[in-house]
Amino acid sequence: MKINGPIIYRDGMLQSPWQHALINIKVTSDLKKIENIYDTLIVGGGITGLTVALLLQETGHNIILSEAHTIGFGTTGGTSAHINTFADTTYKEAESAFGEDGAKLFAGAIREGFDIIKHNIDKYKIDCDYELKAGYLYAESDDEVEQLNDIYEGAQKVGVKVEYTEEVPTNVAYKKALKFGGQAQFHPLKYLKGLEKAYINAGGVIIENNKIEKIEKDGDLLLAGDIKAKKAVYATHMPPNINLFNFECAPYRSYVMAVKLKSGKYPDALIYDMQEPYHYVRSHTIDNEELLIAGGFDHKTGHEDPEKAFADLEKYIRKYYNVSSVKYKWSSQYYVPVDGLPYIGPIPFAADGVYCATGFNGNGMMLGSISAKILCDLILDKENPYAGLFSTSRIKPVDSFFEFVKENADVGYHFIADRIGIPETDSLNRLKPGTGKVVDIEGRKVAAYKDDEGVIHTLNPVCTHAKCMVNWNSEEKSWDCPCHGARYDIFGKVLTGPATIDLQQISN
């Protein structure tokens, strides 16, 4: 059963190429009352939520999935959808923080996440453009060569297939390169719709446009608005409200473009460089049209200029490819965990029986999928080999992740500096249509957006999560919080957690 409302496709104004798969989807509006007691409530309809919902429902459990917007609204609708056997946290880094056994387990989890996707595609016959491809990683400087050698060594040690190669399908001049065989790519929302169908066929319930603001203990049960369940999983990418993970994971925006090439020749591989931040390219056919998908220029949410990030990305693509037109451009959000590995399990200090999975870095296709298996085992009281490694209550020394600590230190800076001492000369009148800015009106900070008709929408710019000041995102037309990554639309509605409460509207 599926209960839903109007369709809004994703958490920003820019369209990703995946959304075409959702257009014209028939929605039911069966408003049957939610009066059952469910075994588990799953909050969030991305790859993590739907995979765990399906897995649990198929064990005979009675599951309800609640999505604040529509299925695929979050990062799964804005991903670049590579499926890899390697990860942003290299196996060498995992070994230095978690030992050789930890690194081997991490590689096992990534592999199993990869295999879960393939298993679901085969089992439920999901037509989602799944294709195996070779993955190439190349180094352009001596420092990068050193890191590349470490990546090779780390991958060898944990048993991931990798070899040196001199034949990377790229125009970029590189010094040394690796080839990872047996990587894959797919269409993330076609996959999600396949999972959704299988879940509903198995008797699962989905409610869309139903934001869960809190989950409270109610005797032996958990209560989330009208929903009663014995257990709950926050598959929300980042659990909502103030929690430990706000301090253990940093939010990043990442930029992607899909372009047509004059040559008509598209790389038949997944190709990555090693710059900071890195770039990648691959190809995908959308609506019978082959496209080059390229991404990069990541930065902490709310910290840099999204317009510049897109301009830099386009410049980068045009430097190496003969672009005839830009078909899509979009950005999305991911979370970098403090010690390099995700957090999967019970939420510390929350009610008993409330779980989450977060901190996937840029690897949530595999890590979201393996999270589903881990969470399913935890809920069913079964052993899981990865539960200890990804424990939500682990405390690890973070020597090799000092960058993270440095970056997160600015949370305090934004809390104070955005409120005081910043001279504000702009007035509402000087705002151009289609733009927004935090302005000073008679000594009061106001988040003001002028729409294309010249109507000004004003909001209290104080993020409802941890009270930092939001910044304008000129590309996605959203208000983004530089502290923990909460995002709001031009009317103040929450687009991305951890906030659950909308920005307060101010009448002018």
In which element (H, E) is residue 104 found?
helix 91-123
The whole-angstrom separation of Cα 1 and Cα 200 is: 6
Q: Does 53 bind ligand FAD (CB under 6 A)?
A: no
Sheet of 478-480, strands arranged across:
471-473, 478-480, 487-488, 494-496
Q: Which of residues 278-317 bind ligand FAD (CB under 6 A)?
A: 295
Our CB check for ligand FAD shows the closer of 47 and 54 to be 47
Span between the terminal Cα atoms of the chain, in Å: 43
CB 273 within 8 A of CB 280: yes
User: By CB under 6 A, what part of segment 206-225 binds ligand FAD?
Assistant: 211-212
Of 9, 73, 106, 355, the one binding ligand FAD (CB under 6 A) is 73
Footprint (CB under 6 A) of ligand FAD, residues 394-453: none
Among 81, 233, 341, 470, binds ligand FAD (CB under 6 A): 81
Amino acid at 211: K
Helix (H) / strand (E) containing 437: strand 435-441
Beta bridge partner(s), residue 253: 299, 333
Q: Is 236 in the site for ligand FAD (CB under 6 A)?
A: yes
Contact assessment for residue 279 and residue 257, using Cβ atoms and an 8 Å cutoff: no
Identify which of residues 345 and 497 has a Cβ nearer to ligand FAD in the complex: 497
Q: How far is the CB of 335 from ligand FAD (least distance, A)?
A: 8
> And the tokens for 236?
């929300």
Our CB check for ligand FAD shows the closer of 64 and 469 to be 64
Q: Which helix (H) or strand (E) holds 40?
A: strand 37-43
Assess 337 for contact with ligand FAD (CB under 6 A). no
User: Nearer to ligand FAD by C-beta: 61 or 69?
Assistant: 69
Choosing from 61, 82, 193, 450, the residue that interacts with ligand FAD (CB under 6 A) is 82
Regarding 392 and contact with ligand FAD (CB under 6 A), the answer is no
Which of 254, 384, 408, 464 binds ligand FAD (CB under 6 A)? It is: 254
Among residues 158 and 313, whose Cβ is nearest to ligand FAD? Answer: 313
DSSP designation for 453: T
Kindly state whether residue 67 participates in binding ligand FAD, applying the rule CB under 6 A: yes
Q: Shortest gap between Cβ of 65 and ligand FAD (angstroms)?
A: 9
Buried b vs exposed e over 22-52: b needs ≥16 C-beta within 10 Å? beeeeeeeeeeebeeebbbbbbbbbbbbbbb
Q: DSSP per residue over 109-164, as a string? A: HHHHHHHHHHHHHHHTT--S--EEEEEEEEE-SHHHHHHHHHHHHHHHHTT---EE
Task: Rank residues 67 and 418 by Cβ distance to ligand FAD and give the closer one.
Answer: 67
| Cα gap 422→429, rounded to integer Å | 20
Position closest to ligand FAD via CB: 364
Out of 12, 17, 45, 346, the residue judged to bind ligand FAD by CB under 6 A: 45
Distance CA 451, CA 15 (A): 19
Residue 48 interacts with ligand FAD (CB under 6 A): yes or no: yes
> Which residues of this chain interact with ligand FAD, rule CB under 6 A?
43-49, 66-69, 73-76, 78-82, 211-212, 235-237, 240, 254, 256, 295, 332-334, 360, 362-366, 368, 497, 500
